[in-house]
Chains A and B, each alone.
Chain A
Amino acid sequence: MLRTAPWVALLSAMPLLAALAPPAAWAPARWNGTNPQSLDLVSGTPINCLLVNSYSSEFVARAAARGIVLLAVLKPGADPADPARQAIRAGLQGIVLEGDFPTGTAARVRDTLADAHAIVVELTSRARMPLGGLDPIIGTYQGVWPGIQVLENGAAKAAPSGSPWIDTNTGFVRSVRAWSPAAVWLGYLPPAHTVVTGERYEAAIADAEMAGARWILALDDDFSARLERGDAAALKNWRGMAQVLRFFESHPEWRALRSYGKLAVIEDRDDALLSGGILDMIAAKHTPTRAIPGQRLTPDALQGATMAVDVDAESLTPEQREMLKNFARAGGTVLTAPPGWKGQSALQPGQITLDKAELDRLNDIWHDVQTMTGRKNLGARLFNVSSMLSNVLGTDDGKQVVVELVNYSAYPIENVTVQVLGTFKHAQLITPEGIQKDLEVYVPDEGGTGVDIERVSACAAVRLD
């Protein structure tokens, strides 16, 4: 019942959950320890859902009083049904099955908890994510730790574009969101044996949020300990993280916007589940892109696009191939990967990035894409953004565009230029620091609308009307 019933009906049937935010609005964090006072840290932040490994009755009561959703995390090993029932009896609102459980486990746990109307969130490997299902939240425990990739000699690794390569989950999230309307949670942990700075945490939050997902905020042990004892530097970093989270969570309308890109990338499920693939390569060039699952290729999906990259032509049906031909006949440009370019080996368990051979093969496609896109404005062109990634979104009528920017470097970036397709009269800069500033709009030499941004710290957005 839980998997098929609309959430509105569920919430109205459940007094406690009804008082809480709907699952799509849950901003999750992993929470260690059961000290009720630790919940004070969450006050004033958008975090409204805690994933806990243990709990006490006082902790549960205090969380409920603050309107915080508690989810018990269960891992593969013992049968999760009993601990799930115990958690719900203790007053938690649901459970998180984290890991790759035997097939059918989640459904069985849901049945077990059906009477309690508890929510069950699955954090699986990427390969096992239930894309296309009806769960309100889907998630994975896998992810790359976002940031500029640094080589052993301390230098930044260069991307094919000549820019520093930025590890990101945004391409993966875009693909998943193209499959499913569910809220997407990323449950990866900070890297072990590494000093993680506040800026890196902010980048991890923003990396997920910019693409419309949520990172399940997880602090490393050192940071957690310092935070718990009230260390001033840790508290400052915590406030910075909350500020970035609030920045995105206070604009839920951005999640409903669609890509403003004129470039469509059609890929199959295996490609969609990887990081560092064609979507991330194109994102490194700040070309706005719409991801289209091959299985969902329709004329509607291509509406408004002027270019399409068909990453895996062999997976398309004859009808879909005809669709692309029609797209080309109507003036669109189609780049089709050569037959057999993809590796013969299937995605390995645990694999979330391309291996070297696949990267080398993908580079050929990438060069073709670069040649095809060139200096064309396929929605927006951005300048001085080599340490950033961006997302360009628009309303269906094209009257409003939002350009989100995330800076993955430890330094603020000055003098960023954004040139958006279309004519807009007003532009406003919005930042996590609370700045809401009108920007001068101008017409660049090649048309469209241009704005200059003086400075971007962790992230920023420009809204054009």
Chain B
Amino acid sequence: MTRREWIALISAAPLLKAAPGPDGAAEGAPAAPVAIARCASYDQDMTAPLAAMFDQLGGLDRMVRGKTVTIKLNMTGSPALRVDGRPPGVTHYVHPKLVGATAHLLGRAGARRIRFVESAWATSGPLEEYLLDSGWNVRQLLAAAPGVEFENTNALGKAKKYARFPVPGGGYVFPAYDLNHAYQDTDVFVSMAKLKNHGTCGVTLSMKNCFGMLPASIYGDDAGVDEPNESPTAGRSKIMHAGRRQPSRSAPAELDPSSSRAPGYRVPHIVADLVKSRPLDLEIVDGIESIAGGEGPWIQGVRRVQPGVLLAGLNPVSTDAVAAAVMGYNPRAVRGAAPFRNCENTLLLAERHGVGSADLRRIDVRGVPIAGALYRYDT
């Protein structure tokens, strides 16, 4: 597809050759506005474009004043692994300046508590140490707003028990998921993701970021058999990607152990389950600088890109649909088409769950139009 053809396509959204809404769910799933802003580099002030986007979405105050806001960061993989030796914030992690600017705006909007969370790769140690290892200045982040705190959700953390999140209406893979308390003890839940490709899922945006909610203590390669292993040291490939074993028995088992073991089937379905069971209130996607070709330095052939965009939205399916379009993809593409060449389309699975609409025709894009923010990840 040429650039001209793509611009024509996204300018005339009704002409999109979309996958039909399975069971009519596409028509029924809610759509929400998505804001796009340009931001050329992390040296620029990020507060202004972020604030403008939040205003375009109706303002932060009404959403966060006096409330606990939990922000799931995207810090995938060991902080020791780098793309071209660059800080992970300019490649595959969200950037700490964006995190700081968000905290500042949340604080200004009256948030009572701002809790940044991530399931730190292969450790249950304090998230602050993981941030330090990533080259983040934790003291600056703490000073960005009152009530900032951090929690590593890779294990039990500061709580005494895990919170159980049933998938309303039944899940694709699991009926419910056991997560760290931080995902329950919150009024507002935010996914802060990176605009990236993903080796298994084609793209990783605000929804795929939620795969990182899963504690490795229960769903990791060295998870306990009966009870969680509170000192996990590995990722989640055996259980969640490949289905070679079940999670700790303390958590609900798979619905159908005879279902496909292919990661390209399992991970998108699990992600759709997760965003159904733990709804998102706000999504922020960091596309200022990123990588294309995969989600991290362990994927061969990843390359650095500089789309210079930020996105924010109020429905994860809608937000990811617009983000995928900004990356040059048809968000309703079916398996076999880019970027979902070897996997299911997570957006359509979440749409089928009724989480939101991936139909660009129904999504109100505010700020910079998609065509103006377009940055093709497949070259």
Contact = CB atoms under 8 A, between A and B. Distances in A.
Interface in A274-314: none
Given A155-B297, A375-B125, A387-B85, A414 B135 contact: yes
Contacts of B125: 375
Interface in A384-408: 384, 386-387
Contact of B85 (A384, A411, A452): A411
B79 A384 contact: yes
Interface stretch (A158-166, A315-323, A343-351, A425-433): A158-166
A411 B86 CA distance: 7
Interface string B78-110: 111110111100000000000000000000000
A420 to B, nearest CB: 14
Contacts of A442: 139
A337 B300 CA distance: 38
User: Which of B85, B87, B121, B298 gathers most chain A CB within 10 Å?
Assistant: B85
User: Which of A375, A411, A416, A417 gathers most chain B CB within 10 Å?
Assistant: A417
B139 A415 contact: no
A386 B79 contact: yes
B122 A384 contact: no
A414 B122 contact: no
A72 B82 CA distance: 45
A49 interface: no
Nearest to B80: A386
B132 A383 contact: yes
B260 interface: no
A150 to B, nearest CB: 11
A411 B83 CA distance: 11
A264 B133 CA distance: 25
Classify the secondary structure of B's interface with A.
loop
Contact of B129 (A375, A409, A410, A415): A375
B139 A410 contact: no
B300 A153 contact: yes
B173 to A, nearest CB: 28
Contact of B132 (A155, A413, A417): A417
B126 to A, nearest CB: 8
A-B pairs with the 4 shortest C-beta distances?
Answer: A386-B80, A383-B132, A411-B85, A163-B80
Given A384-B134, A411-B85, A417-B132, 15 more contacts: A153-B300, A156-B81, A162-B78, A162-B80, A162-B81, A163-B80, A375-B129, A383-B129, A384-B133, A409-B85, A410-B85, A411-B86, A414-B87, A414-B135, A415-B136
28 contacts: A155-B297, A156-B81, A158-B80, A158-B81, A162-B121, A162-B122, A163-B78, A163-B80, A164-B80, A164-B81, A375-B129, A383-B132, A383-B133, A384-B79, A384-B134, A384-B135, A386-B80, A386-B82, A386-B133, A387-B82, A409-B82, A409-B85, A410-B85, A414-B87, A415-B135, A417-B132, A442-B139, A452-B137
Interface of B: 78-82, 84-87, 121-122, 125, 128-129, 132-137, 139, 297-298, 300
